[in-house]
């Protein structure tokens, strides 16, 4: 009988369901809204979300009745301890009609998701870290080994008890033998933990744009590859694909919100892989430029027609999407970005408008360091990639779902000569 090696197994406690459960059934319905299918709907919904959160900051439900809500003018933000709940998938429809269209890779005038569970659409980030919302970093003074519950850092300044922080390391990539035989060598770490899609000789139409070599400096967070805007920074801080989000349990101080007084930072959950200090991998601990939203959710509704993702969960901890339907989108149907312990469950993501490689038709994405995510009891079909992990996924569980019909194009206009090709179903590393 096969036995999984101990270094390939980690604690199985992802999402919200397995950490006390989704709390919204006990929360009051503060306000019910009947949408008018006009552009006034977006402002009405957002204002109601905001006022409900202010009046019930420890748990509020905003209920949408059956009907269509017109979100052509933008998106709504879901704050902490707040749920946007419809009357059921297919009954309450969040519709964008000026967004994406089938068999078309161009965004419309909307050019946004419909719903963001998180503090903002974008956050200020460090140089070379445009998608992360990271703020300040400190080098580790010792390795964090797989399973460790703490990190030793150079400075604890700027960290607080309860903060969510990013633990990551540089790739340490250099030219290594190409084990696949595609080229003489490939840009990879010596242990191949990180392997760039960059070959020597170059592989035309396949290789990603990654500058190499790059001189590691404090200004680029000691990256050894990338230029701050190329593929080395698409889903992580520059050259720091190995990453996960942790929450600070204590650091000399123990009271929530108290500044750290010790350079020993203790986490609430263990490290899911090792992070190496020193002048090859330069492991760091990094703060975020905004507090995370906690316990925000979306339930019982459909989102359709969006053109830059449909529903995003970002800078969010213990957040959830439950019984949602996402269809006819451009980008990611459901995106987890810089998220911790959040989940998608009992949901249906299907029929991307542009099911073609390149990011325009992915169904479910776990990205930019997102950790301990749960995707369970859901259906994901008829997209290019039915799920994808992009520099994220540590400690996550994606199981007990139905994933099928991942494909490369569904019409000649989408991918000439390749329409109908079968795509990889489980993209665990991307």
pLDDT at 301 over 70: yes
The whole-number average pLDDT for the span 353-372 is 96
pLDDT at 6 over 70: yes
pLDDT at 429 over 70: no
Which band of pLDDT confidence, cut at 50, 70 and 90, is reported for residue 230?
A: very high
Q: Provide, rounded to the nearest whole percent, the portion of the chain with pLDDT above 70.
A: 100
pLDDT at 398 over 90: yes
How much is the pLDDT for 113? 99
The whole-number average pLDDT for the span 146-165 is 98
How much is the pLDDT for 257? 98
What does the pLDDT look like over 159-175, one tens digit per residue?
A: 999 999 999 999 999 99
How much is the pLDDT for 8? 82
> CA 303 to CA 69: how far, in whole Å?
10
How much is the pLDDT for 245? 99
Which band of pLDDT confidence, cut at 50, 70 and 90, is reported for residue 409?
A: confident
Which band of pLDDT confidence, cut at 50, 70 and 90, is reported for residue 372?
A: very high
pLDDT at 428 over 80: no
**Which range has the worst mean pLDDT, 4-18, 132-146, 194-208, 300-314?**
4-18
Residue spans of the domains in the chain: they are: 22-95+113-123+292-411, 135-289
Higher pLDDT, 2 or 142: 142
What does the pLDDT look like over 62-102, one tens digit per residue?
A: 999 999 999 999 999 999 999 999 999 999 999 999 999 99
Q: Which fold has domain 22-95+113-123+292-411?
A: Pectate Lyase C-like (2.160.20)
How much is the pLDDT for 7? 81
pLDDT at 415 over 90: no
How much is the pLDDT for 45? 99
How much is the pLDDT for 397? 96
């Amino acid at each position: 009988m096969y036995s999984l090696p101990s270094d390939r197994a980690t604690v199985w406690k992802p999402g919200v369901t397995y950490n006390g459960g989704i709390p919204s059934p006990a929360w009051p319905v503060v306000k019910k809204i009947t949408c008018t299918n006009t552009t006034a709907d977006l402002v009405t919904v957002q204002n109601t979300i905001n006022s409900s959160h202010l009046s019930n900051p420890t748990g509020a439900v905003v209920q949408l009745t059956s009907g269509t809500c017109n979100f052509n003018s933008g998106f709504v933000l879901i704050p902490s301890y707040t749920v946007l709940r419809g009357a059921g998938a297919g009954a309450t429809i969040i519709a964008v009609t000026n967004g994406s269209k089938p068999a078309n890779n161009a965004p419309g005038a909307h050019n946004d998701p419909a719903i963001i569970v998180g503090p903002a659409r974008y956050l200020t980030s460090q140089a070379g870290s445009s998608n992360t919302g990271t703020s300040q970093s400190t080098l580790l003074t010792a390795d964090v080994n797989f399973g460790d519950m703490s990190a030793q850092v150079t400075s604890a300044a700027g960290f607080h008890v309860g903060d969510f922080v990013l633990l990551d390391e540089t790739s340490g990539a250099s030219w290594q033998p190409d084990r696949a035989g595609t080229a003489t060598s490939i840009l990879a770490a010596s242990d191949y933990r990180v392997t760039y899609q960059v070959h020597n000789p170059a592989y035309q139409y396949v290789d990603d744009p990654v500058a190499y070599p790059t001189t590691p400096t404090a200004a680029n967070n000691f990256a050894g590859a990338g230029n701050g805007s190329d593929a080395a920074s698409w889903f992580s801080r520059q050259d720091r694909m190995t990453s996960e989000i942790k929450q600070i349990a204590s650091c000399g101080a123990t009271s929530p919100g108290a500044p750290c007084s010790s350079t020993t930072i203790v986490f609430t959950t263990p490290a899911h892989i090792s992070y190496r200090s020193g002048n090859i991998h330069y492991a760091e601990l990094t703060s975020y430029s905004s507090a995370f939203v906690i316990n925000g959710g979306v339930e019982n509704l459909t989102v359709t027609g969006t053109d830059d993702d449909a529903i995003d969960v970002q800078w969010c901890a213990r957040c959830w999407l439950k019984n949602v339907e996402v269809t006819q989108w451009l980008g990611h149907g459901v995106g987890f970005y810089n998220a911790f312990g959040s989940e998608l469950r009992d949901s249906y993501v299907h029929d991307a408008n542009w099911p073609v490689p390149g990011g325009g038709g992915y169904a479910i994405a776990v990205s930019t360091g997102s950790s301990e995510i749960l995707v369970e009891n859901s259906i994901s079909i008829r997209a290019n990639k039915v799920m994808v992990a992009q520099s994220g996924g540590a400690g996550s569980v994606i199981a007990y779902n139905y994933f099928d019909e991942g494909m490369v194009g569904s019409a000649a206009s989408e991918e000439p000569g390749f329409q109908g090709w079968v795509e990889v179903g489980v993209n665990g590393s991307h």
